[in-house]
């Protein structure tokens, strides 16, 4: 329909590229009439449009002004940095390098109270040790006291296993002597602090857990570096050392380099073992049951660590024996 309307009543204007349609019914049809519409109509239309706009603009403006939100604008507050030092944040200028900055925990207070059960404290040397300061390799303790000793090696692997064992240690006040391999202590320092807090101590199990009967092993690095690291992390320098895998003693290799390194770094007891608890099983050497003076070997990573602890406590009780701090006897 639009095309027919355009073709039927439209004409061309010179210089304008499109056809112009009729003005509508009653529009002049003469050439002069059309000229008058063009000449007079357009200016008059513009004047009328301007007049209408002038009448509309004030009214429109007043309407807009009436709807302006005059409620107070929320104040923009610029945050001012607090330059007061946070007391919990260590000051690099005063904090000792390499030392933990944390405040003493409640566990530490319990540790101080619990160690009263041991006559030598966390890592103190016993009177027997002071009377015999020379290096000694110990497999078991010669004593008539109805006691045995619990030692645990290496590092954690399963937190649930470790926590179950720790609860048993708490419940029974078990003195644990922990032989730690420093490369694997990681973030578990608090755990080792607490598990040894009932009359036990933290001792040396080298840096990397090497075989000392193999070529290339460096006893001075392994033992002396571990001494330094354990003293820095836990506050006491060890004086016992357990050689990984029991070497070089089990293989019969020359122990002179290991013993020389130990003695030069402040160790005077190389501690072996006379019983082993592993994965819920126990073996003795010598004998067929737990005896007074036995040194029992556990591992922190044993999946049945807690079960093994309970088992050895039960065996000890049946034999009239209780666990005692190894530190008091060496």
Helix or strand holding residue 282 (H, E): strand 281-284
Q: Does residue 134 come out as left (phi exceeding 0), alpha (psi in the -120 to 50 range) or beta?
A: beta
- Pairing, β 147-154 against β 136-138: unpaired
Q: What is the pLDDT of residue 156?
A: 96
Asked if 154 and 291 sit in the same domain, the reply is yes
Instruction: Give bridge partners of residue 241 from the DSSP assignment.
Output: 204, 270
Burial of 196 (0-12, 13-18, 19+ CB in 10 A): buried
Q: Name the percent of the chain lying above pLDDT 70.
A: 62
Residue 213 lies in a domain: yes
Asked if 42 and 132 sit in the same domain, the reply is no
Position 282 confidence tier, pLDDT thresholds 50, 70, 90: very high
Residues 206 and 181: beta-carbon distance below 8 Å: yes
Asked if 15 and 144 sit in the same domain, the reply is no
Residue 99 lies in a domain: no
The two three-digit tokens of residue 290, written as one number: 């737990």
Asked if 22 and 137 sit in the same domain, the reply is no
Q: 152 is in which domain, residue-wise?
A: 119-328
Residue 71 lies in a domain: no
Q: What is the pLDDT of residue 284?
A: 97
Phi/psi for 117 (5° steps) reads -70, -25
Residues 299 and 176: beta-carbon distance below 8 Å: no
Residues 6+ apart with CB under 8 A from 35: none
Residue 30 lies in a domain: yes
Q: What is the pLDDT of residue 122?
A: 55
Q: What is the pLDDT of residue 5?
A: 35
Residue 155 lies in a domain: yes
Asked if 192 and 271 sit in the same domain, the reply is yes
* In the block, residue with structure tokens 């065996």: 315
Q: What is the pLDDT of residue 51?
A: 56
For the stretch 154-183, pLDDT in tens is: 999 999 999 999 999 999 999 999 999 999
Number of independent structural domains in the chain: 2
For the stretch 1-20, pLDDT in tens is: 443 333 333 344 344 343 33
Asked if 291 and 147 sit in the same domain, the reply is yes
Residue 45 lies in a domain: yes
Asked if 273 and 147 sit in the same domain, the reply is yes
- Cβ-based neighbour number of residue 205 at 10 Å: 28
Q: What is the pLDDT of residue 286?
A: 87
pLDDT at 253 over 90: yes
Measured between alpha carbons, how far is 239 from 179 in angstroms, rounded to an integer?
Answer: 11
Asked if 283 and 196 sit in the same domain, the reply is yes
Residue 251 lies in a domain: yes
Measured between alpha carbons, how far is 175 from 235 in angstroms, rounded to an integer?
Answer: 18
Mean pLDDT of 92-105: 30
Asked if 303 and 181 sit in the same domain, the reply is yes
Q: What is the pLDDT of residue 9?
A: 38
Asked if 43 and 126 sit in the same domain, the reply is no
pLDDT at 230 over 70: yes
Asked if 29 and 168 sit in the same domain, the reply is no
Q: What is the pLDDT of residue 314?
A: 98
Residue 72 lies in a domain: no
CATH number at residue 161: 3.20.20.370
Asked if 183 and 309 sit in the same domain, the reply is yes
Residues 108 and 122: beta-carbon distance below 8 Å: no
For the stretch 24-73, pLDDT in tens is: 333 334 444 444 444 455 555 565 565 555 555 444 444 443 333 333 33
Average pLDDT over the chain reads 75
For the stretch 114-145, pLDDT in tens is: 333 444 445 567 777 888 899 999 999 999 99
pTM of the model: 0.64
Q: What is the pLDDT of residue 117?
A: 40
């Amino acid at each position: 329909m639009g095309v027919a309307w355009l073709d039927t009543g439209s004409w061309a204007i010179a210089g304008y590229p499109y056809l112009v349609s009729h003005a509508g019914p009653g529009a002049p049809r003469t050439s002069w009439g059309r000229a008058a519409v063009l000449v007079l109509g357009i200016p008059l239309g513009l004047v009328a449009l301007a007049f209408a706009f002038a009448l509309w603009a004030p009214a429109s403006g007043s309407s807009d002004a009436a709807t302006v939100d005059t409620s107070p604008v929320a104040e923009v507050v610029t945050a001012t940095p607090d330059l007061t030092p946070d007391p919990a944040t260590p000051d690099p200028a005063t904090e000792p390098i390499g030392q933990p900055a944390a405040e003493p925990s409640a566990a530490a207070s319990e540790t101080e109270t619990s160690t009263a059960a041991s006559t030598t404290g966390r890592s103190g040397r016993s009177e027997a040790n002071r009377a015999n300061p020379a290096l000694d390799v110990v497999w078991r303790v010669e004593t008539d006291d109805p006691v045995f000793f619990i030692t645990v090696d290496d590092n954690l692997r399963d937190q649930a296993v470790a926590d179950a064992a720790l609860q048993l240690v708490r419940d029974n006040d078990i003195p644990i002597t922990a032989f730690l391999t420093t490369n694997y202590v990681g973030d578990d320092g608090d755990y080792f602090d607490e598990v040894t807090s009932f009359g036990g101590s933290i001792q040396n199990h080298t840096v990397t857990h090497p075989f000392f009967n193999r070529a290339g092993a460096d006893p001075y690095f392994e033992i002396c570096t571990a001494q330094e690291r354990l003293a820095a992390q836990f506050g006491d320098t060890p004086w016992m050392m357990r050689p990984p895998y029991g070497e070089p003693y089990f293989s019969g290799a020359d122990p002179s380099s290991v013993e020389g390194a130990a003695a030069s770094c402040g160790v005077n007891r190389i501690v072996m073992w006379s019983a082993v608890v592993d994965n819920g099983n126990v073996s003795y050497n010598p004998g067929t049951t737990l005896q007074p003076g036995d040194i029992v070997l556990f591992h922190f990573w044993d999946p049945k660590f807690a079960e093994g602890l309970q088992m050895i406590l039960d065996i000890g009780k049946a034999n009239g024996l209780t666990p005692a701090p190894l530190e008091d006897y060496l």
